Every structure is written in C-alpha cells, then in structure tokens.
Structure 1
Amino acid sequence: SNNKLDDDLPDINLNLGELDFTSEDFLLDEVDVHIQENLEDDIVKEALKKGVDLRQYSKEIEHELLKVENESVQDYIKESQNIASLHKQIAAFDTILQRMEQMLNGFQGDLSSISTEIQSLQDQSIAMNIKLKNRQAIRGELSQYVDEMVIPESMITAILESPVTEDDFKEQLHELNHKINFVKEQSFRDARACLDVKDVLEKLKIKAISKIREFLLQKIYAFRKPMTNY
C-alpha cells in the first residue's frame, strides 16, 4: 500500500536557491562570515600577531571583565552613602525650589496687585487733574465775576467824601457806572448776587448825582453873581 501511495504522489522538486537554509553551503557561508568579522577585530589581529592562544586570551579577557565588574560594584557600594546623601540634597533642593517658586508666584501676584493699584492711582490723578483745571477755569471766571459784583470800600469812601473835582471821585464814578451796568445785565439772568449789591449801588448813584447836582448849582450861582468873571 505504501508503494501505491508513493506512486500516487507527484514528484515535488523545490528549488529555493539562496533561501534554502538546510543546505550545507549556506551554513558554511554563515560561519565564514562570522569568522571573518572576528578576524578583522583589532584586538584579535594583535593577538594573532603575537601568537596568543585565542581561547586562553578569551578567558583572560573574561576574567578582566569580571574583575572590572566586581570593582565597579565595590565602588558603587563605597559611594552608596555619598549617593544617598546626594539624593537627599537633591530632594532638599527640590523642596527649596518649590518654596522659591511659591514665593515668586506670590511676588508676581503682589506685583499684579500693585500694578492695578498704580493704574487706579494714575486714573485718579488724571481725574483730579481734570477737576483742578476745571476749578481753575471756573475760579478765574468766578473771580472776575466777584470783582465786577463787589463794591470796594474805596469806592464808597470816594463817592461819599471826595470832592467832585478830584480825580479819585471821577475814577470811582466811572467804576460805579460800570458796576451798575454789569448788575443790570446780570439781573436779566436772575443772578441772586445782584440783590445783595443793588441797593448799595443805587444809594451810591443817588449820592453821586446829588453831589454833582450840587456842584453844578454852585457853579451856576457863581455865574449869576456880578463881577464873578473878573
């Protein structure tokens, strides 16, 4: 039956070429490549030149590596305390840096608050400056208004006591006329301050007219007398 099964199966001939890993040629090529790479190593070349046994040389290198490894472990053990201390210092520095960061954040917040206050002060300063300019402008106009409205004592004295012929009387009479016209103009604007000076101005006006009338009558009487012009 086996012969019959073999007869029934077709002949399969797989030609894998370079992919045929089962071939002896492929295994030998791999070994050759590995050997060639090792032979190109500088240390191996130096050992071959000196005629050193590579197996013995390999053991010596392995021994040296183990020795270096043990020394490294011993060095690490010796420095373990220093490393632990360094770790603690780094942790302490981290804590200090965190505190400094918190302080800087707080300082930044304070600066922001101060900046807001400075801006508020600047706004208040600008507002006060505007108010000051407005008050100065109003004060100038108000001062002029008060000067126009107030009756100085010098005017009252000159109108009541100075002779009509003196310059002081004439100047104060001119100023009195100006104030009367000013008060009359302000009366049409319903200025209450006019009520405080209106009566005084009216009395001074009557007094000035009376003095001028008396002066003129005296002159007229003087002209009527005979030989007055001689």
Structure 2
Amino acid sequence: MTDNQPAITDEARHQATLIWDYHRMHHDVRPVDVAIGLGSHDLGVPVFCAELYRAGLFSTLVFTGGPNPTTPERFPRGEAVHFREHALDLGVPDTAILLETKARNTGENITFSRQVLAAAGIAPAWVLLVSMPYMERRSFATACKLWPEVEVICASQPLVFDDYLKSIGDDKMVIDMLVGDLQRVIEYPKLGFAIAQDVPEDVYAAFKALVAAGFDSRLLTA
C-alpha cells in the first residue's frame, strides 16, 4: 500500500461488505431466452456464463463490451472479444454466441445487446444478465429502465466478498468500484439512466464513510 492509499481497516472491510451484499440481487436463476454477459475487467463473467450454458439455462449468449477504460491493458481487443474466446475455451459453441463490441457503459451494454438480438431475429421475454457481483443491482436498474418489456434476472459468480477480493488481487480497486457503483445506483435515476432503488440507511452510511476514508477513485465527476 502506498502512502496516498487509504488503509483497509476492519471497519472499512465491514462497510464494504454491507455495500457488497446490497449490490447482490439474490435472484433465483432459472431458464431464460437469452443471457447477456456484461463486459468488465473480470473473467469471472464468461466463466459463470459458460457454467450456466452447460447447465442448459439458455441457448443464446451475448457478450457485450469494447475496450475497458479502467484496465485497457487487460483486454486490448475489447471485453466482448476476450470473453467470447474464454467461453469457447470452456466449451460454449461459437454458434451460441453473439458479439457486441462497441458498448462503453452499462446503458450501451443493454441497448446495443438488444439491437444485436433484434438483428438476429431474437425477441426475448426473459433475459439473464451476468455481471460482476457488485454490478448486479446497477445492471438490473438500468435494464428495467431501458428494456422494460422484458423480465430481467441478474446473476454473478457465487462468491463471498473475501473470496472475490482474493480473485481480483486489488482490494483498493474493488472497494472503490463498490463505492462508485453505489453512487451510480443513487444518482442515475435522477438522470433518466435507471429505475430508482431503495438504499438502506446502513448501506448509505457505509458509502459515506468509505468516501470520507478515500475510497473515491470511481466516483462520478461533476
């Protein structure tokens, strides 16, 4: 940890865990018409997509996302391209995968994936969004706003917070992401980007405390 990084104290970890739990939607995963793997820095998304495909929960899978602005060196050819390659290695057939390679944010992930599906002649009634664990609630709120005619289920790898931290290897970045996503859950409905979500008082207090402690690199800029 460098001198300008906040300490990840037991209290900060507890606060982050509250926010982590809030971001998880805890939906029951069931068979759906299509799944959409939302682009990110986390290869856990295509891993879980492949697992759910092999379980027979869907026959069509869209991977969406261009180059990642947070970690562009991780997937230089774009998130969707790398996710597809990883899913192919895990046994998902190429015929089951559609690609969307231009999206730069969650709203575009939803809008452009919808367009890709329409171009393929697919009009789903039930859609499964597979994302990073702390992105579930924001992706749900975004899809409900932009694609209200479908039923949305959210899912992610079933990891507890500490195990997810170990899988990523950068505790500060993950907590910054948790905080940034919560701010977007709060602010995006005011901008017309998502439906509103209730935020419990203890979760909001944890958010304020972590921002004050310096976990702020992913906050929206004015």
Q: TM-score range by the shorter chain?
A: under 0.3
User: Could you tell me the TM-score, scaled by structure 2's length?
Assistant: 0.22
Higher helix share: 1
